[in-house]
């Protein structure tokens, strides 16, 4: 597809992320950290930029301050390219005093942005998934098939259909039925165990989208999956784009083809991290031909004094001193003291794991100073009395649960002028 085609993108980044609590206690779902130095929102924004789609509005709503700060610091487009932007748009209540009532209502409340930009095509993408996608290939499919709207799709197990919009198609990929989160679904052609699901990524001809948004407003509905797309099946040419056909340069043979994860639960979020580890991971974070961009990192290099490290990530500014790391992921400025042991753990920024502490199958959120010899992940009853524990046994320690110890100095975070209410003596970056 020609890069000159006029495309405007909206990224739906207002997700509350209640199933990721307590990681979303003070931040929205797209702002939740991922891997060594990324946030979940970086994946969709990287896909857009790599696909030469440079005009993007990021629609935010719940607990958005840390996301706004991240975008401001990470996603500033060049001043000499004024048509290229990633702009955060909170609810502006131009049509009333209500917040966004659904995905389509969020676009409708900002319909003036479409009318003033005058794009040929509008892309509406979610901000909650881990994947790589060349969106130009979906745009090519949209134009070639004469679609009024195109939905990105992929197979999901039948038992998970209640979590997705499920589509039925004819033999030419035209959608003949769209049901949002049905209790049951028919298998897709050629399969007994999977149905075809919407990824929450849509492409619309602009005039069709504007028409549908105005109709939606008149009918007092609010959502693409629940209202607009099911109705468009009867009146418009609605096509299903097969994500499995999307080709990304630089992907290694050992990687999972068409990798895509909805990290909307603690278990899915936890598991996706470990898909990125090892010499031959399912999803390799470092792909020079299709990078996932992260925030600028001014922190010094990590330091390994000594210890035993197996298949782990050690973020910049971290110090490992005589500890054992087995499938551990340390984000920035984490200190792991002598004789500590981390096994299948995610440790977030500016945390310290005390001498002799043992942590297993756990997520330690930022700014925690875990005391010496503490055991987390070994006694489920004790863990449940103190922390959130998933049904599969993953322990989540909220941010700042273990305060800094007297006489122990935290590594200085990058100052932003934002003061953390729980620690007024420390200046910290947002959650």
The two three-digit tokens of residue 227, written as one number? 């209202």
List, in order, residues 6 or more apart from 180 with CB less than 8 Å away: 165, 166, 223, 225, 226, 230
Whole-angstrom Cα distance, residue 242 to residue 188?
13
User: Rounded to whole angstroms, how far apart are CA atoms 103 and 109?
Assistant: 10
Give me the CATH topology for the region 7-262. Spore Coat Polysaccharide Biosynthesis Protein SpsA; Chain A (3.90.550)
Query: Which run of H or of E encompasses 72?
Result: helix 65-74
For residue 350, give Cα distances in angstroms to 310, 324, 393: 22, 19, 25
Q: Determine the Cα–Cα distance for residues 140 and 144; give it in Å rounded to an integer.
A: 6
Give start and end residues of each alpha helix (H) in 253-320.
266-274
Supply the pLDDT for residue 298: 77
Domain residue extents for the chain: 7-262, 303-397
C-alpha 250/C-alpha 240 separation (Å) is: 26
Please report the pLDDT score of residue 297 as a whole number. Answer: 79
Tokens of 218: 């008149």
User: Based on the number of CB atoms within 10 Å of its own CB, is 11 exposed (0-12), middle (13-18) or buried (19 or more)?
Assistant: buried
Q: Which among 430, 411, 412, 409 has a CA at the least distance from the CA of 421?
A: 430
Instruction: Pick the closest to residue 430 from 7, 39, 109 (CA basis).
Output: 39
Note the CATH number of domain 303-397. 2.160.10.10
Whole-number Å distance between alpha carbons of 68 and 31? 9
The token pair at 287 is 């792909």
Q: What is the pLDDT tens value at each position of the chain, 431 positions in all?
A: 444 579 999 999 987 788 999 999 999 999 999 998 999 999 999 999 999 999 999 999 888 899 999 998 888 765 445 568 999 998 765 555 566 677 888 899 899 999 999 999 999 999 999 999 999 999 999 999 999 999 999 999 999 999 999 999 999 999 999 999 998 888 998 899 999 999 999 999 999 999 999 998 888 887 898 899 999 999 999 999 999 999 999 999 999 999 999 999 999 999 999 999 999 999 999 999 999 998 887 788 899 999 999 999 999 999 999 999 999 999 999 999 999 999 999 999 999 999 999 999 999 999 999 999 999 999 999 999 999 999 999 999 999 999 987 655 444 444 333 323 333 233 334 45
- Are 35 and 313 a contacting pair, CB within 8 Å? yes
Contact 102, 51 (CB under 8 A): no
Tokens 């490290």 found at: 309
Query: Burial letters for 389-407: b for 16+ Cβ neighbours within 10 Å, e otherwise?
Result: beeeebbbbbbbbbebeee
Element spanning 194, H or E? strand 194-205
Neighbours of 47 (CB within 10 A): 22
Q: Would you call the peptide bond into 178 cis, given omega within 30 degrees of 0 as the criterion?
A: no
Contact partners, residue 169, CB within 8 Å, separation at least 6? 175, 176, 196, 240
Number of H helices, E strands in the chain: 9, 24
State residue 63's pLDDT score: 87
d(CA 188, CA 205): 27
Q: What are the beta bridge partners of residue 11? A: 58, 125
Q: Quickly tell me which residue has 């590594």 as its tokens.
A: 411
Q: Which two tokens stand for residue 349?
A: 């920024």
C-alpha angle with apex 111: 107 to 115, nearest 5 degrees?
140
The Cα 158–Cα 100 span in angstroms is 31
Query: Which pair of tokens denotes residue 327?
Result: 């499938």
Angle at 101 between CA 97 and CA 103, to 5 degrees: 130
Residue with tokens 């340069």: 249
Tokens of residue 180, six digits: 């949002």
């Amino acid at each position: 597809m020609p890069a000159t085609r006029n495309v405007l993108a909206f990224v739906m980044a207002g997700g509350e992320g209640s199933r990721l609590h307590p990681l979303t206690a003070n931040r929205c779902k797209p702002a939740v950290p991922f891997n060594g130095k990324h946030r979940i929102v970086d994946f969709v924004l990287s896909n857009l930029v790599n696909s030469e789609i440079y005009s993007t509005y990021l629609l935010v709503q719940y607990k958005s301050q840390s996301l706004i700060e991240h975008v401001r610091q990470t996603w500033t487009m060049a001043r000499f390219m004024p048509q290229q932007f990633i702009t955060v748009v909170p609810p502006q209540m131009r049509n009333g005093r209500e917040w966004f009532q659904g995905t389509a209502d969020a676009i409708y409340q900002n319909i003036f942005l479409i009318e003033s930009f005058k794009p040929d095509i509008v892309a509406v993408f979610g901000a909650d998934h881990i994947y790589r996608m060349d969106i130009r290939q979906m745009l090519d499919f949209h134009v070639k098939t004469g679609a009024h709207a195109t939905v990105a799709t992929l197979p999901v197990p039948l038992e998970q259909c209640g979590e997705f919009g499920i589509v039925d198609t004819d033999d030419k990929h035209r959608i003949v039925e769209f049901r949002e989160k049905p209790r049951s679904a028919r298998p897709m052609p050629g399969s007994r165990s999977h149905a075809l699901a919407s990824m929450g990524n849509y492409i619309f001809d602009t005039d069709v989208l504007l028409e549908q948004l105005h109709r939606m407003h008149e009918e007092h509905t609010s959502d693409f999956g629940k209202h607009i797309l099911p109705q468009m099946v009867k009146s418009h040419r609605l096509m299903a784009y097969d994500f499995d056909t999307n080709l990304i340069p630089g992907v290694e043979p050992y990687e999972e083809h068409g990798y895509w994860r909805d990290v909307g639960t603690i278990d899915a979020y936890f598991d996706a991290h470990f898909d990125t580890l090892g010499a031959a991971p399912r999803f390799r974070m470092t792909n020079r031909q299709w990078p996932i961009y992260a925030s600028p990192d001014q922190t010094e290099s990590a330091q390994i004094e000594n210890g035993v490290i197996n298949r782990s990530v050690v973020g910049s500014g971290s110090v490992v001193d005589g500890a054992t790391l087995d499938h551990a992921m340390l984000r920035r400025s984490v200190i792991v003291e002598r004789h500590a042991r981390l096994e299948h753990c995610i440790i977030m920024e500016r945390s310290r794991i005390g001498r002799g502490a043992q942590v297993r199958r756990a997520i330690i959120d930022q700014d925690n100073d875990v005391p010496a010899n503490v055991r987390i992940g070994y006694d489920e009853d004790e863990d449940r009395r103190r922390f959130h524990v998933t049904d599969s046994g993953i322990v989540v320690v909220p941010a700042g649960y273990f305060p800094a110890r007297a006489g122990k100095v935290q590594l200085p975070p990058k100052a932003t002028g934002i003061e953390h209410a729980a620690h007024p003596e420390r200046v910290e970056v947002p959650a």
